[in-house]
Amino acid sequence: MGWTRLEIWIAAFFTLAVYSYLIKENVLYRFAEHTFLALAIGRGLCLSVHLDIIPYYNTHIVEDGRWWFLLFLPLGALYYTRSFGGGKYGWLASYPICLSMGWGLGYTIARGARSTMVQLADTMGDLHVFDNLLFLLIWACVMMYFFLTVGKNSKTVGTCGKIGRYFMMIMFGAGFGNTIQGRISLFLGRLQFLLRDWIQPMIGH
Amino acid sequence: MREFLERFSEINPRIIYLVMACALIIPVLQPIGLPIVVDEETTKPVFDWIENSKPGEIVFFDVSYGGGSNAELSPQLEAWFYHCMQKGLKAVGVAQWETGAMIAGDLLKKVAAAAEADGYSAEYGVDWVFIGYKSMIWREMREDLWKTCGNTDFYGNNFEDLPLMQKVRQWTAETSKAFIIFEAGSPGVGTYLVNWADCDIYVGCVAVNVAGNQSILRSRQIKGLLAGLGGAAQYEKLLGRPGDATSLMDAQGLGHAVIIVLIVLGNISYILKKKNG
Contact B229, A185 (CB under 8 A): yes
Residue that wins the pLDDT comparison between A3 and B197 = B197
Neighbours of A102 (CB within 10 A): 10
Does B230 sit within 8 Å of A47, measured CB to CB?
no
Q: What is the pTM of this model?
A: 0.84
Chain B residues in contact with A56 by the CB 8 A cut-off are 135, 150
**Residue A167 distance to chain B (closest CA, Å):** 13
Name the burial class of residue B241, with classes exposed (0-12), middle (13-18) and buried (19+) by CB atoms within 10 angstroms of its CB: middle
Q: Does B257 touch chain A (CB under 8 A)?
A: no
Q: What is the pLDDT of residue A186?
A: 83
Whole-number percent of chain B with pLDDT over 70: 99
**Residue B227 distance to chain A (closest CA, Å):** 10
Chain B residues in contact with A47 by the CB 8 A cut-off are 98, 101-102, 133
Residue that wins the pLDDT comparison between A70 and A177 = A70
In this predicted model, what pLDDT tens digit does every residue of B50-69 receive, in sequence order? 999 999 999 999 999 988 88
What ipTM does the predicted assembly reach?
0.75
Q: Does B256 touch chain A (CB under 8 A)?
A: yes
CATH number 1.10.110 is the correct assignment for the domain at B43-241: no
Is residue A112 predicted with pLDDT exceeding 80?
A: no
Mean pLDDT of A168-182: 83
Is residue B209 predicted with pLDDT exceeding 70?
A: yes
Query: Which residue of B12, B17, B26, B28 to mutate against A (max A Cβ within 10 Å)?
Result: B28
Q: Does B22 touch chain A (CB under 8 A)?
A: no
Does B149 sit within 8 Å of A118, measured CB to CB?
no
In this predicted model, what pLDDT tens digit does every residue of A135-170 receive, in sequence order? 889 989 999 998 877 777 788 888 999 999 999 999
The continuous run of DSSP H or E covering B178 comes out as: strand B178-183
Choose the weakest-confidence range: A154-158, A182-186, B240-244, B269-273.
Answer: A182-186
Residue that wins the pLDDT comparison between B240 and A149 = B240
Contact B64, B97 (CB under 8 A): yes
Taking CA atoms, what residue in A is nearest to B105?
A1
Closest-CA residue to B6 (of B222, B266, B213, B247): B266
Angstrom distance (rounded) from CA B232 to CA B229:
5
Chain B residues in contact with A40 by the CB 8 A cut-off are 99
